[in-house]
Structure 1
């Protein structure tokens, strides 16, 4: 057992207090008072859990005094002891005083001890409940504060001017369109290649709209079969299909009051197109296995890397669904159409990678950025992000050089649009055999030179050539002329 509970006994008869003290002293810390003034002084300085008060005292009844105690020390559990007044005569006063128990004299010692023990437990339960309520209030307040701060941070992150680009970027037209469309509660279809940043545009639309304080949920529609997709979006009831062991709330219901982003919407089946169209038309969902419909208030933003107008003309996509999704369309240009953004975007992605991995570097060499700008980036921003992370992880110098780039990127020559296509020289009609082999050889030579930091001795050894043979090939392909001296010095290679 822990520390004894403190009991205050108030009675104007000293002999009654002596009796109470003898009975209770083994189980409790007993304090006594013969007047209400003494009792108040004790309550003011001691931590009392239970008060035993006689009903009939001079000047003030026990119930009247305990009303005062309730007002000043509400946590103390109050018990009335009396042998002169029936409970029915003072029942209203007992309620007003919040009295826990009424015991009539003569009381049995075991009964009194049991009553006090229960009163002590009640005291501690009340304190635990009050503490829990306070903790819940603080936790709720903290959660609301954190949620509010997170929402404001998201709004800052996805504001219009946060999309990384240069002053003359083709992305500016897209951002201008986002700024015009975002405040209006209409559906939007975002088109663009995979990895070009369609979800960023969707988030910008949401966090700059009137629904910014509501949830934003996203689903890749091309990754799931119809039944699972229907369950993900609209929910299901337990037993609706094999594996449905409990009810599930769908994303449409979770996003009530906010935005649903449906990525790869061009990949859904004709059967699911019908179901989705019905939901968009009626604004109601019906979970799998349920007969009840639920109304939802959402804004739908969809995205696709397909040409849905062509799909509609070919009869592979419902025209009514297309027009329901595409109240307005926004095109995100691929990275190869905004090469001027690549250095700025690469630096921004590097800062993110530095924060994520905790590895500090100063940035990229100019040569590395030139190689990045020359490449066609079929995977768009996502591919660039992966490349930047790999360079950071593999780099051992303060500046990340071009030698850290993947071979496919190094084989793209700055300023030569002909070096911009994948697998150069292998496509049909690319020229004679000799011309195609020369094209491949030039790319291999340049990639090896950059990877070896323009050290011709290392490059010759790697390619199994003599220094004279390497120099002859470089001169034949014009590669001696493409390396500026400042790049050579910055890369740390020697020209020999």
Structure 2
């Protein structure tokens, strides 16, 4: 099977067919997804196809997920390895993290958005690591002229995460957010980023890192909500050989690997009080004690944390330590949700159409004015992540490169129609108050046409029937009022 060059491939290994299909549905808009029910089928698939990421269930017939991923590490070292299992297997997973080179551990029951974000981050990490390895190799082996060129490439790579690359409209509320973040980036202060899920908190954290004196260091990410305490402690602080069954060699934690750089702790509000104590000690002392180690190891990192929780409220409720809160909240930055910066929807949507269109092999995809108006009228409770998924769906089902409103989901269309209907029925200010009688009637007629078309997903037959018009008559009115269809 030939894979599109621009579509990363993912292999799901799980002996439960329903679980396979659930993961396929979650991932297949962004990735070429293969499935296998056991290790033998997975080996055959990997021999025939270039696999970017493998998602493997821990409990399988014959081999455990960790043992199979150890084999994958040896035979296909460039494939990013993710294991999926329950809390009951956490000790086995901890023991196999270093041995199998596991990138991430996802707990059951997994959440679709988290699974999708984890795989996206895995592919991004793989691409960045390949670029970094290639550039560092060029630096070590090149002539002075080539080294200068390679340094320029590294600078260009860092510019990808510049504050100016955070998509927004002129005068957006994000301007003030980015201005504050840019000012504090130069100082070695901890930063707490607050905001709803999907608002782009990690993107802002990356921009802070690359605008700081630590830009040449590593930027490492950990989702604190995705792991139990024991696994999170080992992942962040590391462990020593022999610390527990299966710990065959030393495993440096993310704090050690980020020495001189930045650690981004996502969803820090989900951590347990017991883990908060251990994290506070690390931040206070500037050193970590790997599991099983006799002595602490000094680390020099900047911590940027993020959460969708109200941490001050959780402090008052006794769910989050007050001393840790003040330690991580040296500077607090709040990213507003998309519904509070509706002007940003258009530029973000256009950029997502370009990016997702390229990923799906539809580089000429674009949004019609009517589709864009619908997107701008929806409140987006899932923020940019939901907007991205909506655009991917619309591109996939659209027959034309120009995405019409009909290609949007009923959720978005009904949300838009609901806003228009509510405005017309409950707010007199939504109706025209100036102009001639004819002009006012035209405005009301256009509003009714638009609301009806949106509610019927631009089905002209149903809309014409409801309005008592022929299809020809409806088309004439749509042309008159500039409504696409």
TM range (shorter): 0.5 to 0.7
1:186 aligns with 2:189: yes
Query: Which moved further from structure 2: 373-382 or 234-243?
Result: 234-243
Which position in structure 2 is the counterpart of 1:237? 240
What do residues 25-60 of structure 1 show as CA deviations (whole Å, max 9, x unaligned)?
A: xxxxxxxxxxxxxxxxxxxxxxxxxxxxxxxxxxxx
Q: How far apart in 2 are the matches of 1:334 and 1:484?
A: 36
Say yes or no: does 1:449 pair with 2:445: no
Higher relative contact order (CA 8 A, sep 6+): 2
Q: 1:220 to 1:473 in 2, by over 3 A?
A: farther
Asked if the contact 2:421/2:451 (under 8 Å) is kept, the reply is no
Tell me the distance in 1 between the aligned counterparts of 2:371 and 2:291: 53
Partner secondary structure for residue 396 of structure 2: helix
Q: Is the 8 A contact 1:367 1:402 kept in 2?
A: yes
- Is 1:151 aligned to 2:151, yes or no? no
Which of 371, 381, 384 matches 1:381?
384
Given that residues 233 and 252 in structure 1 are in contact (C-alpha distance below 8 angstroms), is that contact kept between their aligned partners in structure 2? yes
Contact 2:225 2:267 in 1 (8 A): yes
State the number of aligned residues.
Answer: 319
Output aligned runs, 1:15-26, within 5 Å. Answer: none
2:333 and 2:283 map into 1 onto residues whose CA distance is 20
**Partner in structure 1 of residue 467 of structure 2:** 471
Residue 194 of structure 1 aligns to a residue in which SS? coil
- Structure 1 Cα separation of the partners of residues 422 and 246 of structure 2: 52
Mapped pair 1:217 → 2:213 = no
Aligned residue for 1:313?
316
The answer on whether the counterparts of 2:339 and 2:379 sit within 8 Å (CA) in structure 1 is: yes
Aligned-pair CA distance for 1:183: 0.4
Go from structure 1 to structure 2 and tell me whether the alpha carbon gap of 1:334 and 1:237 turns closer, same or farther (over 3 Å shift).
same
Q: Which residue of 2 aligns with 1:141?
A: 141
Is 1:285 paired with 2:288? yes
Give the TM-score taking structure 1 as reference length: 0.59
The partner residue of 1:164 within 167, 173, 176 is 167
In 1: Cα distance, 2:280 partner to 2:321 partner = 9
Does the 8 Å contact 1:151/1:213 carry over to 2? no
> SS where residue 218 of structure 1 aligns?
strand
Deviation per CA, 1:397-428: give whole Å up to 9, x if none: 131111111110011236937769xxxxxxxx
2:224 counterpart of 1:228: no
Q: 1:302 aligns with which of 295, 305, 310?
A: 305
Partners of 2:148 and 2:482 in 1: how far apart?
51
**RMSD, matched Cα:** 3.1
Q: Tell me, what secondary structure is at the counterpart of 2:252?
A: coil
Does the CA contact (< 8 Å) of 1:374 and 1:415 recur in 2? no
Length-normalised TM-score, structure 2: 0.60
Any idea what SS the aligned residue of 1:450 has?
A: coil
After TM superposition, list the pairs within 5 Å mapping 1:97-116 onto structure 2.
none
Matching residue of 2:16:
none
Return the match for 1:342 from 342, 345, 353: 345
Q: Provide the rounded CA distance (Å) in 2 between the counterparts of 1:323 and 1:138.
A: 43
